[in-house]
Structure 1
Amino acid sequence: MNVVAIILAAGQGTRMKSALPKPLHEVGGMPMLAWSLNAAQAVGASRIVTVLPPHSETTQSWLGDIEFAIQENARGTGHAVLAAKDKLAGFLGVALVMFGDTPLITAATLSQLTQCIKDGADLAVLGFHAADPTGYGRFICAENGQLNAIIEHKDANDAERQIDFVNGGVMAVACPLLFDLLDAVSDDNASGEIYLTDIVHIANARDHKVVTCKTDEAEITGVNNRADLAKVEGIIQSRLRSAALDQGVTMRAPETVFLSADAIIERDVIIEPHVVIGTGTHIGEGSIIKSFSHLEGASLGPCCIIGPYARLRPGTIAGDGVKIGNFVETKNTNLAAGAKANHLTYLGDAMIGEQANIGAGTITCNYDGTNKFKTLIGDGAFIGSNSALVAPVRIGANAIVGAGSTITSDVSDDAIAIARGKQKNIDNAATSFRARAQDKKQKNNNQKK
């Protein structure tokens, strides 16, 4: 049976107080909308239609080739689903109605919903047992499991308000039944809106089978403001950490480590406290990421040692056993197996050969204010401390650059390059210098009196 996902993302998100559309706010390194899209794809949705508000060009651009429909006027959740009706004309199968601001929902839960339809139900509604059901629509269920109605909190009597099994909003509905039911929903209410939940009593009146599916409360937590965003981030981080631990990753203090959903961390990796693993990062087996390091868009081979206090920016590629130490920053740089940059260094737009050693304080001067240039450092090269390598420049294999050098020309293989001012020593000059300085200080003090 074909599955289509209708993802409702037409809310204005005014409580976020942001120029960025609410569905594009990130949790776990991905926009919230991406979590919903990924869940829908994982459950096998052959099509996805995202319902957006007018003037949503930013979100439309982010969606790329994914279909979208525009809800011209905000007239309720049912009206939002109707915005996708023309897109899905003639569709036969299961429609999953989801939300663009509930990133915690899983493919497993969505699969349970769609299975209800495949097993003969016409409509399945996701619910949960709320710790505090205040404000939620209550499920009124028959003994045979039929969902007879959803009673909103404000309309519920005292007995109904004691029910803690409440509406989570997500539904699976047979198509084209979904749109037949919505066409029958009235907007004759105080808000003049078309509510998606109204299809439940209409389906019952027409003798359709309506069932519920249970999940935990956290899974359908919605994001309406920055506090909700932080809450959801915490839950997602807990999930990501647990998954990493289950896959053989050691974390000394998991609660201090922040992971992106697309990060690949192989077994026997050790992550020390206060580390951020950003998007597009791959950490090879047996590597150690020391405290206070930040990795993003970096790919590490096996047995690398990173940090503490290292920053690996996008385009960093490290081979087997590479060492990148404290206060080292890399970007668009490839370090071959066994290369080392242990302290206080910037490597940008560089190719570092095998077993090369980069001394403390070294920088690749890769940018002239307009263009960026490459630095090439050969296998086994040794770059002395406090060196500036002005790109474009090549340091040959096994070459040595003397400490404190500013290198502006290529250095051949096995050569030694020294580029610094000549040292001059003046005997006993320090004594006379201090005497003159003391006299000057005394005169200044006398003038102030």
Structure 2
Amino acid sequence: MFTPNSFFDLASFEYAGLFDGVEHVWDVLSRLEAYLTTHVPQENQILGDVHHGAFLVGQHILIEERAVIEAGAYIEGPCIIGRGCIVRHGAYVRAATLAGAGSLIGHATETKNAIFLPGSKAAHFAYVGDSILGNRVILGAGTKLANWRLGGGTITVKVNAQQYSTGREKLGAIIGDDSSLGCNSVCNPGTFLGPRCAIYPLTSVRGYHPANTVLKPPSS
């Protein structure tokens, strides 16, 4: 239920080795920073187009071919910005972000300890912390993937009356391939969405939802 393959097709992901041997998908986040530090040289590798006025801070930053970093974007290492990615003006890309090929980190979007699988998009005013976006996931403007419980404590998820502990105090959302979240939706800490889920705008989501789930706000 919580294996990476339950949420993502990793066959074409260049960095699929990050997931090797992982039983629970959230455990990938604990190894992400070390993986980036190991796989990216200490001296920053700039192969894409970094506009004048963009800020690259720290070491172990890889900007791959055809990636575009717009002026005013802030990127902190360790980090990989994959082939053909776009990081727009005003984006705040904090340490331990891995953006797969063709993904988009948009204006006023903040990322931290996060994985964007190929083609995923957080185009405007999103927060993606301690989270994984599957292939071709779309986050509408203002989407927040909250990663910290009110009052703190280990984040758990309940499925069919059984409680599962993630062992993490910070965990945002795990969002399966081809899911879409409408504008100003919120995923509470420890949200799990299977592939092809659809979340309507202004919806507050929590817990585990299997593939093809459609969620609307209570007033709909």
Q: TM-score, normalised by structure 1?
A: 0.35
1:110-134 deviations in whole A, cap 9, x for unaligned? xxxxxxxxxxxxxxxxxxxxxxxxx
Tell me how far apart the structure 2 counterparts of residues 276 and 262 of structure 1 sit (CA, whole Å). Answer: 15
AA matched with 2:143: T
2:156 alignment counterpart: none
Asked whether 1:404 is paired with 2:202, we answer: yes
Does the aligned pair in 2 maintain the 1:407–1:419 contact within 8 Å?
no
2:186 alignment counterpart: 388
More helix by share: 1
Counterparts of residues 37-436 of structure 1 (less than 5 Å): 262-266=43-47, 269-279=48-58, 280-297=60-77, 298-368=79-149, 369-370=151-152, 371-420=169-218, 422=219
Q: CA deviation at 1:273?
A: 2.6
1:213-242 deviations in whole A, cap 9, x for unaligned? xxxxxxxxxxxxxxxxxxxxxxxxxxxxxx
Tell me how far apart the structure 1 counterparts of residues 88 and 76 of structure 2 sit (CA, whole Å). Answer: 14
Does the aligned pair in 2 maintain the 1:307–1:324 contact within 8 Å?
yes
Count matched residues. Answer: 160
Q: CA deviation at 1:415?
A: 1.4
Q: CA deviation at 1:397?
A: 0.5
AA matched with 1:383: L
Percentage of matched positions with identical amino acids: 27
The gaps in structure 1 that reach 5 residues or longer are: 1-260, 424-449
Tell me how far apart the structure 2 counterparts of residues 414 and 277 of structure 1 sit (CA, whole Å). Answer: 39
1:308-335 deviations in whole A, cap 9, x for unaligned? 1111001110100111110000001100
Q: Secondary structure at the match of 1:314?
A: coil
Tell me how far apart the structure 1 counterparts of residues 108 and 130 of structure 2 sit (CA, whole Å). Answer: 18
Does the aligned pair in 2 maintain the 1:411–1:417 contact within 8 Å?
no
Tell me how far apart the structure 2 counterparts of residues 394 and 419 of structure 1 sit (CA, whole Å). Answer: 17
The gaps in structure 2 that reach 5 residues or longer are: 1-41, 153-168
Q: CA deviation at 1:418?
A: 1.5
Tell me how far apart the structure 1 counterparts of residues 66 and 112 of structure 2 sit (CA, whole Å). Answer: 23
Q: Secondary structure at the match of 2:125?
A: strand
Q: Secondary structure at the match of 1:338?
A: coil
Q: Secondary structure at the match of 2:217?
A: coil
Q: Which has the higher contact order (CA 8 A, sep 6+)?
A: 2
What is the root-mean-square deviation in Å for CA atoms of aligned residues?
A: 1.4
Q: CA deviation at 1:300?
A: 1.3
Q: CA deviation at 1:409?
A: 2.3
Q: Secondary structure at the match of 1:342?
A: strand
Does the aligned pair in 2 maintain the 1:263–1:278 contact within 8 Å?
no
More strand by share: 2
1:41-83 deviations in whole A, cap 9, x for unaligned? xxxxxxxxxxxxxxxxxxxxxxxxxxxxxxxxxxxxxxxxxxx
